[in-house]
Structure 1
Amino acid sequence: MEQTLDLPPGYTLVALRELGDAFAHACEIAAEAGAGTLTWVRRYDLVEFAVVLEPDEPLSSARRAFFAGMNALADAIAAHCPPEREVEFDWPDAIRFDAGLLGGGRLAWPADCAEDEVPPWLVFGVILRAAAMAHVPEVQAASGVSLLSEGFEMVDTDAIIESFARHLMTAFDRWKERGFEAIARDYLERLPKGKAGERRGIDVNGDLLVSLPGGSGAPERNSLVDALARANWYDPQARGPKFE
């Protein structure tokens, strides 16, 4: 019997073979496949999936859906992790578990979409290290955090994706009912502060704004688009999270 996922209503599963690329494939089929399409690569060493979204606002502000995705991912990990363990973010896209780099999220949109146009689709992609990757030298692998090394069960890897799908729906409902501030607050709670007392906010275009107490002038601005383009957590050659 072929392995599958138990996703909530509204999702359509597209399962790929082990060598597939969930993020790239979701981007290729997004225009035709539509919202709720979830591409998933069956791998033992990575939790790799991507979901197609259809926003209803211009690209410049629609990118904030990324934070709803990151919140859903962190909530899903937290629901299955051993107790008393922290799930945190590095701005904007890396997931840390107990301070170790576990993986991260990515966001794609049509290359020809202008900032003031409503994009026909967005793709939110995720890769988490589930186990030591077979092609990585043992010494290097030992320096990396994985779900299995941190006390998760193997069955939890699929359950995290299923849980993410439910939490993502909840996040968008929360956004609709309470506004984006509720999403921003949840995200910022998991983003460690650089300095004591600093105030943070997420601008309408997704940039991180940081101001110090008593400071005058404009807050420091951290570009979401630039940071997503760097994807500092991701190793494109290994097609997985970096080792630190």
Structure 2
Amino acid sequence: MMVSRTAQVEQPLDLPPGYTLVSLREYGDAFAHGCTIAAQAGAGTLVWVRRYDLVEFAVVLEPDEPLASARRAFFAGMNAIGDAIAVHCPPEREVQFTWPDTILFDGGVLGGGQLGWPKDCREDEVPAWLVFGVILRAADMAHVGEVEAASGVALLNEGFEMVDTEAMIGSFARHLMTAFDQWNERGFDPLARDYLERLSKENAGERHGIDVNGDLLVKAPAAKGPVIRSSLVNALAKVAWYDPEYRAPKLG
């Protein structure tokens, strides 16, 4: 799974070699823009929306396996942003996931991840690109009512003295490269394990796994019933954490 090319430009973010930065004004959409330019821009292009109330970015990837299994790159991205938040958050605060794309901080919805791919790509074809996008709520949004804002989770309200967006994105970029190196050297299992360790469980004792196509496999504690399968593709299509009205993570 390729994460970068050698092309680089001068950039304000402290990104590892191989990343190329594209900056958007505050009304931009990092994920949509990333999907639009992915074919031309190539792997390692990181689209960043400059705004104070959200941490919003997307990165272009170039997989080397068929779409059906390449979508597992989504879990590498989720692990990377989970690790980046954990590095910068106050001690003893918990980062969790709700299947598959919601990011929780101390139990509240902080944001989430998205995955895009060429819509004309068949499951057995290697896609020309993938785009992994992230939005986190950094601060209360100015156009959201006070009562609504009080029901949400924002980094500045959760013990962060300040939100260093640049440092967090740089940390994500490094963790993502590490994740793909681990995948190449040791296979996908360590990435699956790291993701599942943060996945919130509905029932104590459940055993979780991730299939080769990215589906979630859940086995009941008694281990006698059938394995329950949750489709990654169907779940990603819902973007359950996202509020299209505010173009931000949902409140409450």
TM (norm. structure 1) is 0.97
Report the counterpart of residue 169 of structure 1 in structure 2: 177
Q: How many residues align?
A: 242
Query: How do 1:199-210 and structure 2 match up within 5 A?
Result: 199-210=207-218
Distance 2:147 2:58 in 1: 30
Report the counterpart of residue 65 of structure 2 in structure 1: 57
**Gapped regions of structure 2 (runs ≥ 5):** 1-10
Report the counterpart of residue 24 of structure 2 in structure 1: 16
Structure 2 residue corresponding to 1:35, chosen from 36, 43, 47: 43
SS at match of 2:217: strand
Distance 2:201 2:157 in 1: 27
Q: 2:106 is matched by which residue type in structure 1?
A: D
Report the counterpart of residue 7 of structure 2 in structure 1: none
SS at match of 1:148: helix
Distance 1:191 1:155, change over 3 A: closer
Query: How do 1:32-181 and structure 2 match up within 5 A?
Result: 32-181=40-189
Distance 2:22 2:158 in 1: 29
Displacement of 1:243 in angstroms is 0.6
Displacement of 1:118 in angstroms is 0.2
Distance 2:113 2:67 in 1: 18
Distance 1:107 1:196 in 2: 29
Report the counterpart of residue 4 of structure 2 in structure 1: none
Distance 2:161 2:17 in 1: 26
SS at match of 1:133: coil
TM (norm. structure 2) is 0.94
Displacement of 1:202 in angstroms is 0.1
**Residues 99-124 of structure 1 deviation map (CA, whole Å, 9 limit, x = unaligned):** 11100000000000000000000000
Q: 1:222 is matched by which residue type in structure 2?
A: S
Distance 1:24 1:214 in 2: 43
Displacement of 1:155 in angstroms is 4.5
Spell out structure 1 runs of 4+ moving beyond 6 A. Answer: none
Report the counterpart of residue 12 of structure 2 in structure 1: 4
Displacement of 1:18 in angstroms is 0.7
SS at match of 1:44: coil
Distance 1:59 1:161 in 2: 26
Displacement of 1:195 in angstroms is 1.4
**Residues 170-208 of structure 1 deviation map (CA, whole Å, 9 limit, x = unaligned):** 000111111100000000000122212211100000000
Q: 1:148 is matched by which residue type in structure 2?
A: L
Q: Is the 8 A contact 2:155 2:163 kept in 1?
A: no
Distance 1:80 1:151 in 2: 10
Identity percentage of aligned residues: 76
Structure 2 residue corresponding to 1:237, chosen from 231, 239, 245: 245
